[in-house]
Amino acid sequence: MSQIRTMRFKIAALFEFQGKTPPTNATDLASITPLVLKRFGFLPQPVLVTVEGDEVVIQYPEESSAAQAEAARLAERAGKRAAEGHYEKAIGILKRVLELQPSLHKARRDLAMAYVETGDIDNAMNHLIEVLRLDPGDAWSWVVLANLYIREKSDKETGEKFLRKALEIAPNDAWALNSLASVTFERGKTDEAISLFEHAIQSNPEFANAYYGEAIVYQDLQQPDKSIATLERLFAHAKMQDARSKPVYDGARQLFGKLQVDLAQRNESETFKLVQNYKAEMEKLSGYPIRIQEEKFESKIGATIQMAWKHNRDFHLVKIRADYPPPISQSSRKPRTHPPQARIRGAQGWQKSFLRHHRQDAGHGHPVVCGRYPQVGKGRLFGAENHRADADAGQRALRIPVQLPARHAYRAPPARHIQAAPARAIPFRPAHGE
């Protein structure tokens, strides 16, 4: 004989998704039973409903052990299919799982997530609502449902309500904090948005979305230094969950490149003086003058250094890309470079390069390949401040500011990339307590 399972929840929860006031008089309370039977008709039959004060009690027979075992096996297979990106196959398997065990909470939620991935938003929302009726304490489902309301229905008010509900259940949920930060930012509450983004970062330092969102807020406030600092924290500490996180990293890389160029242009006068001073210092240390000229490189080389003694010249020659836009392409007339810290590091590397070559035998070494376009990898930003030394000569790369190629031109990120759980970037995650 099957065991009887019992669920309890507040009457108010029945009306959570409709914005209605829960009934209070006896006549209205009598209408609750048919409403519950309709909404929980997917549970194993027969379902018994009773009202006890402000709570509804639901009792139903538990599925057989054999059905539960088969459902667990198929649910695991569905998870693998979803991880491989085969969402249609996962949906088919999960439907069979719920036929075997209709009360399996995790399978119903995973089915909703698979529908999100295939773009079937109506089915996704319906299943998420069923999940929350079964377990109103599932904070993650509140977060996903909130993002769908915000993005698909343009209902920010309801979305914010659901996000705050999630935070009541899980105050340190980084996804909920990040989504709420995005909503408050769009409403012009920048201080609150920054505070929420920081809370999300503290809750999960590996969560890239929160860093990126905070950097965008600082950019909107015209505080590029803080925006760059936040992006540097992202590259140092955040981790990519999977391929669906790529838009966040792409946006962060493009924003970083834009901010670096903006700062270089803003500090043009100071930069020119520093570069000229370093150039004069290197000429004094090496005993040779330095000439800078533009060059049309076929590959993505930022610049090359040719030492005087290696090329039988009475001067050192630095060649830079001719197709770099200002201020880089004008370096031969008025050199410009990175903001102060990067400029200092760059000049120190340049100085070491000249000193090293001054001591090396004149018959060895090759031009330095440097200043490659930025790219994100292993949590670090490579390019503008991380350079490759020539393997044969062991030379240090000359620090030259890197301008992103035209196809990577920065564009304001779409709102879905700032939100915590974009419609097609929501990872599968177990509910609390599972």
The DSSP string of 328-384 is GGGTTTS---S-HHHHHHHHHHHHHHHHHHHHS-TT---PPPB-PPPEEETTEEESS
C-alpha 167/C-alpha 157 separation (Å) is 16
> Is residue 284 located within the same domain as residue 234?
no
Is 80 exceeded by the pLDDT of residue 389?
no
Confidence category of residue 368, pLDDT binned at 50, 70, 90 = very low
Tens of pLDDT, residue by residue over 229-277, are 999 999 999 998 766 688 899 999 999 999 988 887 787 788 788 888 9
Quote the pLDDT of residue 243: 65
Which position has the token pair 């993005």? 151
- Whether 346 maps to a domain, the answer reads yes
Residue range(s) defining the domain that contains residue 55: 4-61
Q: How far is CA 30 from the centre of its chain?
A: 48
> Is residue 301 located within the same domain as residue 348?
yes
> Is residue 230 located within the same domain as residue 334?
no
- Residues 420 and 179: beta-carbon distance below 8 Å: yes
> Is residue 182 located within the same domain as residue 281?
no
> Is residue 312 located within the same domain as residue 353?
yes
Burial of 26 (0-12, 13-18, 19+ CB in 10 A): exposed
- Whether 386 maps to a domain, the answer reads yes
- Whether 26 maps to a domain, the answer reads yes
Quote the pLDDT of residue 77: 94
Tens of pLDDT, residue by residue over 30-75, are 677 887 887 787 888 888 888 888 888 888 888 899 999 999 999 9
- Beta strands 316-321 and 290-295: pairing type? parallel
Question: Would you give the DSSP letter of residue 292?
Answer: E
| Secondary structure class of 291 (helix, strand, coil) | strand
Is 70 exceeded by the pLDDT of residue 375?
no
Average pLDDT over residues 382-409: 30
Question: What percentage of the chain exceeds 90 in pLDDT?
Answer: 42
Q: Output the domain CATH number for residue 217.
A: 1.25.40.10
Pick left, alpha or beta for residue 384 (phi over 0 → left; psi -120 to 50 → alpha; otherwise beta).
alpha
Confidence category of residue 340, pLDDT binned at 50, 70, 90 = very low
- Whether 91 maps to a domain, the answer reads no
- Residues 177 and 207: beta-carbon distance below 8 Å: no
Is 60 exceeded by the pLDDT of residue 369?
no
- Whether 171 maps to a domain, the answer reads yes
C-alpha 254/C-alpha 15 separation (Å) is 45
Tally the domains of the chain.
3
- Whether 147 maps to a domain, the answer reads yes
Tens of pLDDT, residue by residue over 108-127, are 989 998 998 899 999 999 99
- Give the tokens for residue 335: 């050199």
| Secondary structure class of 85 (helix, strand, coil) | coil
> Is residue 372 located within the same domain as residue 297?
yes
Task: Return contacts of 196-203, CB within 8 angstroms, 24+ apart.
Answer: 199/172, 200/174, 200/175, 200/420, 201/174, 201/233, 203/172, 203/173, 203/174, 203/177
Task: Return contacts of 404-408, CB within 8 angstroms, 24+ apart.
Answer: 404/254, 404/257, 404/258, 404/373, 404/374, 405/373, 408/253, 408/254, 408/257, 408/373
Residue 340: count of CB within 10 angstroms of its CB: 13
49 membership: H or E segment, kind and range: strand 48-52
C-alpha 149/C-alpha 16 separation (Å) is 14
Confidence category of residue 20, pLDDT binned at 50, 70, 90 = low
**Sheet order of strands, 55-61 included:** 4-10, 55-61, 48-52
Is 60 exceeded by the pLDDT of residue 373?
no
- Whether 156 maps to a domain, the answer reads yes
Confidence category of residue 7, pLDDT binned at 50, 70, 90 = confident
- Residues 138 and 128: beta-carbon distance below 8 Å: no
- Give the tokens for residue 216: 């965008």
Dihedral angle at the C-alpha atoms of 227, 228, 231, 233, nearest 10 degrees? -110
Pick left, alpha or beta for residue 241 (phi over 0 → left; psi -120 to 50 → alpha; otherwise beta).
alpha
- Whether 24 maps to a domain, the answer reads yes
- Give the tokens for residue 161: 């309500």
Dihedral angle at the C-alpha atoms of 75, 77, 80, 84, nearest 10 degrees? -120
Tens of pLDDT, residue by residue over 154-212, are 999 999 999 999 999 999 999 999 999 999 999 999 999 999 999 999 999 999 999 99
Quote the pLDDT of residue 310: 92
The DSSP string of 378-395 is TTEEESSS--PPPTTT-P
Helices (H), 204-339: 208-220, 224-237, 246-266, 268-286
Dihedral angle at the C-alpha atoms of 36, 37, 41, 45, nearest 10 degrees? 130
Confidence category of residue 5, pLDDT binned at 50, 70, 90 = confident
- Residues 396 and 349: beta-carbon distance below 8 Å: yes
346: number of CA atoms within 13 Å, CB side? 24
